Structure 1
Amino acid sequence: MSRNDKPVNGQDNQSFLDLLNQTPPAPPAPELEGKHGTMRFARLRAAWKASWEEGGFLYQRWEEVFQARHASWHEVANWIKAVALFGGLSLIVLMLDAAGDIASATLKGLSAVPATSASDGSGLWGTVDHPVRVFLADQAAHLSVAPAALYAFWQLTGLLGLVGGFLGNAGARIAWLLFGIGSLAMIWSAAPAGGRAAATGLAALMWALASMVALRGLTLRPVVHNHPPQYQFNPALHLHATIPAPTPAGDDYDPDNVHQLQR
């Protein structure tokens, strides 16, 4: 006979199946007499009521759930730990699967964008984006990689650096800084000679505005930690006094006319 692993009042707590086997069936109605299904339902209903009484199987499980809110992880029942771990692992697997699908779709979408577009670089964004496309297309001709892949990687690096920097990730902020410096260098190299300075300056301003989000909370002030000293200094003054030795009898300093009183 299966029993629960936690005793109640010094005795083993019976499980729901034990109560179902030991509970006598309720007498069926006269008109339903002889029907096996009604007897089984009556036994199940009686076992259900008995399990919710004080000391019952479901009563104890509900008490454990109620006490788990104020107990530590080591004090929680084992079955609650198993359910929590299984649910957490299932959620992590679902999130990783969804993140993989989103990342795959994002990379495919970015790779589908051509490295060079039909835009002639008009507009504020075109002034910054078009030189980058041209520079990557020229460099890809000497590399074993497609221009679209280079442009997609450039976009993905900027997106991850912006989002990760906003969340306070140090590595993402470093990637954001390198992304901005590399972008400025590409724009300076591929922009038309007459407007090279203007295009690079405009890109620097746009990158600075975006850095307000990516570098949120970053400060150049030194962080001073004021910790109390680990030792305690208790000043004390020690005085050493020298007591002279007693003068022996018959010393010259003792007057001769001083005698002890005698009865």
Structure 2
Amino acid sequence: MSNNDRQTNGQPRPSSILDQLEVPPARKDKPRLAWLRAAWKESWQEGGFLYQRWEEVFQARHGGWHEVANWIKGAALFCGFSLIVMMGDAASDIVSTTLKGVSVVPAIGAGDDTGLWGTVVHPVRVFLADQAAHLAVAPAALYAFWQLTGLLGLVGGFFGNAGARITWLLFGIGTLAMIWSAAPAGGRAAATGLAALMWALASIFALRGLTLGPIVHNHPPQYQFNPALHLHATIPAPTPAGDDLGPDSVHPL
């Protein structure tokens, strides 16, 4: 502070508390933080560790699986495996809860099945109820499983899945056998025939595109055969003029 600032009307002014305070010097970083900051900046420079990893991630977006870095493949496989494990665990919990809920559902009375559908479904319910009496499972659980099997076979067969179509065929044969076994004696043939017709109609969608005849694919040949005759003739070198007797011959004078 200059002398003019310390004078008031030509008289020296006593120094105040503000004049005695000094501005503290700038705080210096600790050596450890400074080293970390320097290492961080150096790793992001061209050729640094983080810079190279970022370049590998950027190149993985445009390259194939074989061109991706190994650490990216490992991370992707680990994440995919973890996701599959979590989905499997969640699916097992859902299936277990659903089966427990179905097992406690009381069976629907026989009088609720009426009409053409009831003619097919009622014998199935009766057959499953009789079999469930000898098994450790509720009749409602067996009936729900029967419905689920038919639904999966119908939907999967519509999309051309071979396993689903086999399931659909076994589902239909088993259903016809249950109806024949549990239907009343007087209407057994009619109930089984009606179920067979309904199953055949549903098979139009479940077995869509399935043919029993051989499939012939007429494709043009991928190669062309062009017969040609190639003759290779060897022409001897011409003999130099005036050298009829050969290089070792002696010409008389």
Question: 1:236-247 counterparts in 2 under 5 A?
Answer: none
Q: CA deviation at 1:177?
A: 0.9
Q: CA deviation at 1:65?
A: 1.0
**2:63 corresponds to which of 65, 68, 71:** 71
Question: 1:119-198 counterparts in 2 under 5 A?
Answer: 119-120=110-111, 121-140=113-132, 143-144=134-135, 146=137, 148=139, 150-193=142-185, 195-198=187-190
Range 57-66 or range 184-193, more displaced: 184-193
Query: Which one-letter code corresponds to 2:108 in the other structure?
Result: S
**2:27 corresponds to which of 29, 33, 43:** 33
1:83 aligns with 2:79: no
Cross-structure match for 1:222: 214
Q: Quick one: distance in 2 between partners of 1:178 and 1:122?
A: 26
Cross-structure match for 2:108: 117
Larger Rg: 2
Q: Quick one: distance in 2 between partners of 1:205 and 1:46?
A: 80
Q: CA deviation at 1:43?
A: 5.2
Q: Quick one: distance in 1 between partners of 2:201 and 2:83?
A: 37
Q: State the aligned residue count.
A: 206
Q: Quick one: distance in 2 between partners of 1:80 and 1:237?
A: 57
Q: Quick one: distance in 2 between partners of 1:229 and 1:162?
A: 39
Q: Quick one: distance in 1 between partners of 2:178 and 2:152?
A: 19
| TM-score (norm: length of structure 1) | 0.61
Q: CA deviation at 1:85?
A: 1.0
Cross-structure match for 1:102: 94
1:93 aligns with 2:85: yes
1:56 aligns with 2:53: no
Contact persistence 1:160–1:172 (CA under 8 A): yes
Tell me which of the two structures has the higher relative contact order, counting C-alpha pairs closer than 8 angstroms and 6 or more residues apart.
2
Q: Quick one: distance in 2 between partners of 1:156 and 1:218?
A: 23
Q: Quick one: distance in 2 between partners of 1:53 and 1:175?
A: 61
Q: CA deviation at 1:60?
A: 1.3
| TM-score (norm: length of structure 2) | 0.63
What are the ranges of 5 or more consecutive residues in structure 2 without an aligned counterpart? Answer: 1-23, 231-253
Contact persistence 1:111–1:152 (CA under 8 A): no
Q: CA distance change for structure 1 residues 31 and 215 in 2, over 3 Å: closer, same or farther? A: farther
Q: CA deviation at 1:183?
A: 1.1
Percent identical residues: 78
Contact persistence 1:107–1:152 (CA under 8 A): no
